[in-house]
Amino acid sequence: MMRPYLDTFSLSGKIALITGAGRGLGLAIAKAMAGSGAHVILNGRDPGRLGDTAGSITAAGQEASTAPFDVADPVAVRTAFDEIARTHGHLDILIHNVGARNRKPLLEFSDEEIRDLVETNLVAGFTLAREAARLMLPRQSGRLIAITSIAGHVARSGDAVYTGAKHGLTGMVRALAAEYGPFGITSNAIAPGGFATEANEAMLADPKIAEHFSARTALGRWGRPEEIAGAAVFLASPAASYITGHVLTIDGGLTIKM
């Protein structure tokens, strides 16, 4: 049976950079994008891990390469984008997925710890989006997608720096939608709730905390990393051409439950 409408969800021929693609949500998104036809450029700080992941994607007959760099180092970011420009000539999709965690009361943060968390979770978002836009503007086409968090629009105690940075990232996504909309570039966010990734290992290992989160979600469980990937493919695809400035919450109903 012919299903031509499915083509509007295809990423065939697209070049996509995914930051933090070595594990967790970034890895799930990278695999889904490669499986949807994109050439995925995998970023992280561990070249060995990225190489293994790229190897498993190419072994499956899909396209992947690696770009190891620290997203919080603007010089390394520029160098990586220069390399992408040399190799591919342009970029279609940026998934800014890296996010660092440091949960504790504000009074326990040193100046350096505050700066580090904001550099990685917020400042890097601007640096990456700016360099991506440079490669998208000449073609008047592109997709900027940031993985924010439900902490980008709600808050809980003991997590002020991460929450503030993610709120800032949500603002950036909306502002860039306004700035780049006239040039054919959309800017959207995906706001995850609780997903079972390495970053949440400690919480998942504590039955009381793990169960508390499950009970608070409408679906009664944590998310699996692959459950974020369809939304990223959709927002990057031609099917989402008129969606911009949007924050798509994927939290199993955590933030809508009374």
Ligand X SMILES: NC(=O)c1ccc[n+]([C@@H]2O[C@H](COP(=O)([O-])OP(=O)(O)OC[C@H]3O[C@@H](n4cnc5c(N)ncnc54)[C@H](OP(=O)(O)O)[C@@H]3O)[C@@H](O)[C@H]2O)c1
In the bound state with ligand X, the residue whose beta carbon lies nearer, of 97 and 170, is 97
**Binding ligand X by CB under 6 A: which of 41, 72, 136, 189?**
72
**Binding ligand X by CB under 6 A: which of 14, 20, 122, 249?**
20
46 binds ligand X (CB under 6 A): yes
Residue 118: closest CA among 58, 70, 164, 176: 164
**Binding ligand X by CB under 6 A: which of 9, 10, 45, 126?**
45
Residue 18: closest CA among 82, 64, 51: 64
**Binding ligand X by CB under 6 A: which of 36, 65, 149, 244?**
149
168 binds ligand X (CB under 6 A): no
- DSSP calls for 73-108: -HHHHHHHHHHHHHHHS--SEEEE-------S-GGG
117 binds ligand X (CB under 6 A): no
252 binds ligand X (CB under 6 A): no
Pick out residues in 182-241 that bind ligand X (CB under 6 A): 192, 194-195, 197-200
In the bound state with ligand X, the residue whose beta carbon lies nearer, of 71 and 240, is 71
25 binds ligand X (CB under 6 A): yes
Pick out residues in 83-112 that bind ligand X (CB under 6 A): 97-100
> How many other C-beta atoms are found inside a 10 Å radius of the C-beta of residue 105?
10
- Kindly list the distances between the CA atom of residue 63 and the CA atoms of 21, 94, 136, 196, 233, in Å, as whole numbers in the listed order: 14, 16, 20, 27, 15
The residues assigned a catalytic role are 162
Torsion of CA 129, 132, 138, 143, to 10 degrees: -80
70 binds ligand X (CB under 6 A): yes
Nearest approach, Cβ of 148 to ligand X (angstroms)?
Answer: 7
Mark the segment that binds ligand X (CB under 6 A) among 38-46, 131-139, 170-178, 181-189. 38-46
120 binds ligand X (CB under 6 A): yes
Count the site residues for ligand X by CB under 6 A.
29
Nearest approach, Cβ of 23 to ligand X (angstroms)?
Answer: 4
How far out from the chain centre does Cα 139 lie?
23
Query: Which secondary-structure segment (H or E) carries 186?
Result: strand 185-192
In the bound state with ligand X, the residue whose beta carbon lies nearer, of 142 and 193, is 193
Mark the segment that binds ligand X (CB under 6 A) among 10-18, 24-32, 137-145, 173-181. 24-32
| 197 three-class SS | coil
User: CB under 8 Å, gap of 24 or more: what pairs does 98-103 form?
Assistant: 98/19, 98/20, 98/26, 98/43, 98/71, 98/124, 99/20, 99/147, 99/149, 99/162, 99/166, 99/199, 100/162, 101/162, 101/199, 102/161, 102/162, 103/158, 103/159, 103/162
List contacts with ligand X (CB under 6 A): 19-20, 22-26, 43-46, 49, 70-72, 97-100, 120, 147, 149, 192, 194-195, 197-200
